[in-house]
Chain A
Amino acid sequence: SAVISQKPSRDICQRGTSLTIQCQVDSQVTMMFWYRQQPGQSLTLIATANQGSEATYESGFVIDKFPISRPNLTFSTLTVSNMSPEDSSIYLCSVEERPYEQYFGPGTRLTVT
């Protein structure tokens, strides 16, 4: 399966600032996904990012708050903008390597103070 890495692995940020999370895959993939996992909760899909097109956001998530870039078939970034303590979560990227089967990166643990 694809090897997925994320940077940073964790960060502590002050409210009002922004953080960009990087997701790198060791093979070319068409579809990449970004998820959020709030403390004690399960995963929620933020958006789907396909190369060459705008990301598709799920209900409750907006581009101004979570801008996403997908410049090529192996890389994507998610920015968490104007952070508040409620943004403290684990952010995970995933890829669809085989049709309809997703693999996940190690996650980025974000704490907003």
Chain B
Amino acid sequence: KQEVTQIPAALSVPEGENLVLNCSFTDSAIYNLQWFRQDPGKGLTSLLLIQSSQREQTSGRLNASLDKSSGRSTLYIAASQPGDSATYLCAVLNDYKLSFGAGTTVTVRA
């Protein structure tokens, strides 16, 4: 069974600092990995999707890397802003099913 772990569980940084969020998974036979953002009490917004054959994916201030062989992904958010405050979830797809981590809750202080 796929296990997905996200470290740290919570993170508080001053505005302008770069954010580094980590995700690890136990079964490297994944098809892809998605990073999502969830605001309190809301649904999920897809941020980035990395195919298993890719090493990284970028969108604006967001950059996600994937090392499938070691079962790791990292989400970098550059020059954080208070609007980046949310919970960030990673999810891996294998056997046609998404397995989610518990998330990292980020607070960006103005």
Tell me if B102 and A42 are in contact (CB < 8 A): yes
Interface size class of chain A, counting residues whose CB lies under 8 Å from the partner chain: 20 to 34
Q: Beyond A42-B101, A45-B97, is A104–B44 a contact (Cβ under 8 Å)? A: yes
Known: A100-B31, A101-B32. A42 touches B103 (CB 8 A): yes
Task: Return the CB mask of B79-103 against A: 1 if under 8 Å, else 0.
Answer: 0000000000101010011101111
Interchain Cβ contacts within 8 Å, total number: 45
User: Are A106 and B42 in contact, CB atoms less than 8 angstroms apart?
Assistant: yes
Distance, CA A14 to CA B36, complexed state (A): 32
B60 at interface by CB-CB < 8 Å: no
**Is A109 part of the contact surface with B, judged by Cβ < 8 Å?**
yes
Per-residue contact bits, chain A 71-113, to B (CB 8 Å; 1 contact, 0 not): 0000000000000000000101010000011111111010000
Instruction: Specify which chain B residues have a CB less than 8 angstroms from the CB of A103 in the assembled complex.
Output: 46
Q: Which residues of B contact A1 (CB under 8 A)?
A: 46
| Binary CB contact string for chain B from 29 to 44 against chain A (1 if under 8 A, 0 otherwise) | 0011010100001111
Is B49 an interface residue, CB under 8 A from the partner?
Answer: yes
A103 to B36, CA, bound (A): 10
Residues of B within 8 A of A107 (CB): 41-43
- Kindly state the separation between the CA atoms of A43 and B101 in the bound complex, as whole angstroms: 8
Known contacts A45-B97, A92-B44; is-contact A104 B36 (Cβ 8 Å): yes
Tell me the bound Cα distance from A92 to B38 in angstroms.
Answer: 12
Please give, as numbers and ranges, the residues of chain B lying within 8 Å of A45 by CB-CB distance: 97-98
B39-71 residues with Cβ-Cβ distance < 8 A to A are 41-46, 49
Chain B residues with Cβ below 8 Å from A101 are 32, 34, 46, 49
Q: Mark A11-53, 1 if CB is under 8 A from B, else 0.
A: 0000000000000000000000100000001111100000000
Q: How far is the CA of A6 from the CA of B41 in the complex (A)?
A: 14
Residues of A within 8 A of B45 (CB): 104
